[in-house]
């Protein structure tokens, strides 16, 4: 759960920065952050991922 919250805190502010970008540099940085952050959040919600975290220790 902590990873999901941290990734959301990384991706959500970047979306607003994406709309405010005036040049290619900030736009590219925001796009890369989104492209790297969203798959992590999506993969954490896969059944295989939740099963790994719910395994018996």
Q: From first to last of the 57 residues of the chain, give the pLDDT tens digit.
A: 787 788 888 788 887 777 777 888 888 888 888 888 888 888 888 999 889 888 888
Name the H helices within 1-57. Answer: 2-20, 24-44, 47-53
Q: Cα(10)–Cα(18) distance, rounded to whole angstroms? A: 13
pLDDT value of residue 28 = 86
- Structurally, the chain folds into a number of domains equal to 1
In this prediction the pTM is 0.59
Range of the domain at 19: 2-53
CB 30 within 8 A of CB 18: yes
pLDDT value of residue 47 = 93
């Amino acid at each position: 759960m902590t990873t999901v919250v941290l990734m959301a805190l990384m991706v959500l502010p970047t979306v607003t920065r994406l709309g405010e970008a005036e040049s290619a540099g900030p736009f590219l940085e925001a796009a890369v952050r989104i492209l790297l952050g969203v798959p992590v959040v999506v993969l954490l919600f896969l059944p295989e991922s939740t099963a790994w975290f719910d395994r018996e220790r």
